[in-house]
Structure 1
């Protein structure tokens, strides 16, 4: 991995959010690449339940200040950063008061999905790309974790198809068993189509549930990692039919060698 540039984009990350299969692997994978001589950048949403004072988040004025258009609305983009102290790893946080100020991640206190989770996912995808453009940092690999980051492969291949910074970048989608129950806003497909993405290319999002979001993500990724043992059968069956590199599930204690080998021989080949 020496000198390779890898962009990690995740819905969740320890130590900023509680540990689960997504947040743990979103931490362990960049830590491993960092220790193997790779250059990394990590992006996640700045959810309102992240303690800014404890984790010493601060706004990066030179990266903030632009507006992203989401479904014909101008939404201000705020960028914050923090460091994971013991690893000396910097994390960039995508923020917007309308979407991320509330003191929760994906659901309200009754466990009900936030009605604007679809727009939050679009904002996050666009916010990551626009910030990386401002950093003028061209990644060799873009490794995506978690369903709120799952629109990134689609946006990179469709909305940002002509962006030279990403012309050589390879996208990996890690697929987890942990998703969400229910569906996102039924108008998600129209909101993505507003950005010039043909509806027929994302027809599966007429039913915007977890499995279908991930199907779109793996369709537009260059490679897939099965990052959990218990992936929904429908999704696992769909992935098995893809004609692209797929890394089967590897336990945490064995993942380092498997991931490095996958990066080097299947993704960067």
Structure 2
């Protein structure tokens, strides 16, 4: 991993959000790469329930100020940054008042998914790419964690297909167990095709369930990591049929060598 550049993009990350499978592995994997001499960047959304004062987030003016078009609306992009002190790891936060100010991550006080979670996912994907372009940092690997990040492979391979910065980047998708019931806004497919992405590339999004979002992620990734046990059979079949390199589930205590070896021998080969 020495000298390799790896971009980590995650829906959730400890210590900024409570610990779960996604947030813990989103922390442990870059920590491992960092310890092995790799260069890392981490991106996550700046949800309103992240305590900015406690975690010392501050806006990066030179990276903020751009507008992203989401479904024909101009949405301002704000970039904030913080450090995980004991690891000396920097984290970039994608922010927007409309999408991320509310004091919750994915659901309201009744446990119902936010109606605009689909637009938040598009905004996050575009925001990550545009910020990495401003940083002029070309990653060897882009490692995706969590469903809010699942549209990034699609956008990189279709919307940003001609962007030279990512021409040689390999995309790895970590697939976790099911995390929400039902589906996102049924108009998600229209909002994606508004960006010039062809209908046939995203037909699965006619029913934007958790599994279908992740299947789209698999379709446009170069390799897949099974990051949890109990992944649904139809998802496992889709992954197998994709004929992409797959790392089977590895417990947290054993993941470091397995992930590093997978990066080196399957992803970067």
TM-score by length of 2: 0.99
- Corresponding residue of 1:20: 20
Alpha-carbon distance in 2 for matches of 1:77, 1:202: 25
Q: 1:136 — aligned with what?
A: 136
Say whether 1:125 aligns with 2:125. yes
Query: Residue in 1 aligned with 2:75?
Result: 75
Match of 2:37 in 1: 37
| 1:172-219 deviation digits (Å, cap 9, x = unpaired) | 000000421111000000000000000111101100000000000000
CA offsets 1:151-192 (integer angstroms, 9 cap, x no match): 000000000000000000000000000421111000000000
- Unaligned residue ranges in structure 2 (runs of 5+): none
Partner of 1:147: 147
Which residue in 1 is equivalent to 2:57?
57
User: Which residue pairs with 2:260 in the alignment?
Assistant: 260
SS of alignment partner, residue 242 of structure 2: coil
2:171 is equivalent to residue 171 of structure 1: yes
TM-superposed deviation, 1:242: 1.6
Structure 1 consecutive aligned stretches of length 4 or more whose deviation exceeds 6 Å: none
SS at match of 1:179: coil
| 1:98 aligned residue | 98
* Alpha-carbon separation, structure 2, partners of 1:12 and 1:218: 19
SS in 2 for 1:158: helix
Alignment of 1:234-245 (within 5 A): 234-245=234-245
On the 8 A contact 2:178/2:211 being kept in 1, the answer is: no
Structure 1 residue runs of 5 or longer lacking an equivalent are: none
- Report the counterpart of residue 108 of structure 1 in structure 2: 108
How far does the alpha carbon of each residue in 1:54-113 deviate from its partner, in whole angstroms, 9 at most, with x for none? 000000000000000000000000000000000000000000000000000000000000
Alignment of 1:181-260 (within 5 A): 181-260=181-260
- Quote the Cα distance in structure 1 between the aligned partners of 2:77 and 2:40: 22
On the 8 A contact 2:9/2:144 being kept in 1, the answer is yes
Alpha-carbon RMSD: 0.5
Contact 1:21 1:178 in 2 (8 A): no
In 2, the alpha carbon distance for the partners of 1:253 and 1:143 equals 20
| Whole-angstrom CA distance in 2 between matches of 1:115 and 1:26 | 25
Count the aligned residue pairs.
269
TM-score by length of structure 1 reads 0.99
> Are the counterparts in 1 of residues 178 and 210 from structure 2 also a CA contact under 8 Å?
no
How far apart are the structure 2 equivalents of 1:231 and 1:189?
Answer: 25
In structure 1, C-alpha distance between the alignment counterparts of 2:78 and 2:49, rounded to whole Å: 17
